Amino acid sequence: MSQQNEVILRYWPHPKQQVFHRDRYKIRYRSVFAGTGTGKTYALCFEILGMLLENPGAVAYIFEPTYKMVRRILIPALESKWLLGKPFESNPLVAFYNRGDNYINLHGCNPNNSEEAEGTLWFGSLEEPEYAEGPNIDIIGVDEAQYIRRFTESWDVILRRLRGSGQIKRDISCAVVTTTPPPLLPGDRLHEFFEDPKTRNPLSKVYRWHLDDNPYTTEQYKAEIKASHHGSLAKRFIEGLFAPAGVGSFDFDSTVHEVKQVEKQTVKVVVYGVDFGWTNPSAIVCVGFDGDDRAYILDEFYQNRTQTETLVQELKEMQAQYGEGPVVCDSSEPQTIDMFCKAGLVAQGNTSKREDGIHELGGRFHVQGDGKPRIFVSSKCVKWISEVMVYNAEVKENDHAIDATRYAIMSRAGVSSLDVSFSKVRL
């Protein structure tokens, strides 16, 4: 790479990140269990970029729980001003970008050797464990592991793939996991592999970061997170600790309610629920209804500090895929709802009571006389599933996707199958 095309990575690790980076090549399995806003994803990306540049020809993979998280979280982090600094297509450090197959080739780090082998960085999702299958590779990163629905099976595949790509002379095989710890449930593989002293892998090490450990996060953001997260949520999202899950208010059973795919002809009507947030996430949930008024959670958007323009874009993308339908919103932001309407969305505020919505939604999880419940969820809706498993109706926390869902559900309450107005549904 010529000097005029030099790329400078402006990532400047905070002290806890420095400890993590110093263990490069020393620890085979590293896990960062950290609070929100502590720089987990940036640290993961920098670590893997650094290893690729130091080992021309090496092959690495970074996984997110879903493809949408690849698009919304991983690629923007890699292209950010702190790391590569430019889009892949115009970046002098990137020799080739295959958008369809989701990988980039990086130029070797030796500026005096134009024949230096290129490193390869793949990015993908773990919506299903088999997505982790493939040839042997050198480095694997897993971001936001708590949202991977079948982490145990996916982790087993990852361990099998860490046998070296054969493209470099030395063995640098390693895996890095970064996440806010999930609710502590019996048999949790993350906890058993990295944390439990009785079962942890002897080649592993945990790095724990508290929200306050990141000096680059604003004090206002830290104060907002601390004010809105209490109990077990504070343990997980502020301190980076595993914490026992509360007893869920809904009778959710993944073996009953979770489905891999919803047939196109099943869904007759689509409704979009929106819960607004800033420090807490904004959530969009796409809910389809069949002719018998069973609900199907088809898709989700879940992200904090989201501008209205982004919400509009996400809603329009969902409608392009699943069909047009009413957008039922948290009524606390009439100005945002008005902006939705001006953007061409059929938006309205939720008028139902919280207690009624919880009762209606909760009743849908019960198996009916025909042997089926009245609600199903696509396995790709990892944030929705994560919430519903620990949702506590007595506590107004960890409820953003659930609130968006009950807005959509209640907009259909009292509508019989004979009154269905069929819309164009595209799955």
Q: Which residue has the tokens 């970074």?
A: 62
pLDDT at 424 exceeding the cut of 80: no
What's the gap between Cα 44 and its chain centre? 15
- 217 phi and psi, to 5 degrees? -80, 135
351: three-class secondary structure by DSSP: coil
| 282-291, 375-384, 393-402, 415-424: the lowest-pLDDT one | 415-424
Same domain, 345 and 234: no
Angle between helices 15-22 and 40-54 (to 10 degrees): 30
What is the Cα–Cα distance from 301 to 274, expressed in whole angstroms?
9
Q: Give residue-wise pLDDT tens across range 101-112.
A: 999 999 865 444
Boundary (domain end) residue, out of 196, 212, 243: 243
Q: Mean of the pLDDT values across residues 398-413?
A: 93
pLDDT tens digits, 111-153:
444 445 689 999 999 998 999 998 899 999 999 999 998 999 9
Q: 273 with 191, same domain?
A: no
Residue 37 amino acid letter: G
For residue 2, what pLDDT is reported? 41
Mean pLDDT throughout 401-412?
95
H helix runs in 185-307, sequence order? 189-190, 219-228, 231-237, 254-257
> Do both 315 and 231 map to the same domain?
no
Same domain, yes or no: 200 and 275: no
**pLDDT band at residue 249 under the 50/70/90 scheme:** confident
Question: Are 106 and 219 contained in the same domain?
Answer: yes
- Would you give the DSSP letter of residue 261? -
Question: Mean pLDDT over all residues of the chain?
Answer: 90
- The closest alpha carbon to 39, from 178, 147, 205, belongs to 178
136 by Cβ neighbours in 10 Å (0-12 / 13-18 / 19+) ranks as middle
Same domain, 213 and 322: no
Instruction: Tell me whether residue 330 is in a domain.
Output: yes
SS3 389: helix
Confidence band (pLDDT; 50, 70, 90) for 357? very high
User: Could you tell me the pLDDT band of residue 418, with boundaries at 50, 70 and 90?
Assistant: very low
Q: What are the DSSP E strand ranges found in 168-220?
A: 174-179, 183-184, 204-209
In a domain, 36, yes or no: yes
Q: Is residue 249 part of a domain?
A: no
Asked if residue 354 belongs to a domain, the reply is: yes
Taking alpha carbons only, the member of 82, 80, 61, 84 closest to residue 72 is 80
Residue after which a domain boundary falls, among 198, 224, 243: 243
Q: Is 126 helix (H, G, I), strand (E, B) or coil?
A: coil
Query: Strand 103-106 relative to strand 119-125: parallel, antiparallel, unpaired?
Result: antiparallel
Residues 15-63 pLDDT 10s: 999 999 999 999 999 999 999 999 999 999 999 999 999 999 999 999 9
In a domain, 427, yes or no: no
Q: Check whether residue 11 and residue 54 sit in a common domain.
A: yes
Residue 363 has pLDDT above 60, yes or no: yes
What's the total number of domains in the chain?
A: 2
DSSP structure string for 78-124 = HHSTTTT-S-GGG-TTEEEEETTTTEEEEPPS-TT-TTPPPEEEEEE
Residues 231 and 370 in one domain: no
Q: Domain boundary at 243, 277, 312, which?
A: 243
- What pLDDT is recorded for position 427? 57
Report how far apart, in Å, the C-alpha atoms of 142 and of each of 65, 147, 152, 309 are.
8, 11, 13, 29
- Kindly state whether residue 396 falls inside one of the protein's structural domains: yes
Tell me how far apart the terminal alpha carbons of the chain are, to the nearest angstrom. Answer: 45
Residue range of the domain that includes 323: 254-419
CATH number for position 50: 3.40.50.300
**Cα–Cα nearest to 293, from 185, 173, 412:** 412
Percent of the chain surpassing pLDDT 90? 73
How far is it, in rounded angstroms, from Cα 97 to Cα 35? 32
- In terms of Cβ atoms closer than 10 Å to its own Cβ (0-12, 13-18, 19+), residue 360 is middle
Residue 107, φ and ψ in degrees, nearest 5: -65, 150
Residues 264 and 230 in one domain: no
pLDDT category, 247, cuts 50, 70, 90?
Answer: low
Co-location of 51 and 163 in the same domain: yes
What number of other Cβ atoms are within 10 A of residue 73's Cβ? 17
81: pLDDT strictly greater than 50: yes
pLDDT score of 6: 56
Q: Which residue has the higher pLDDT, 275 or 412?
A: 275
- Regarding whether 402 and 259 lie in a shared domain, the answer is yes
Residue at 424 is within a domain: no
**What was the pLDDT predicted at 117?**
65
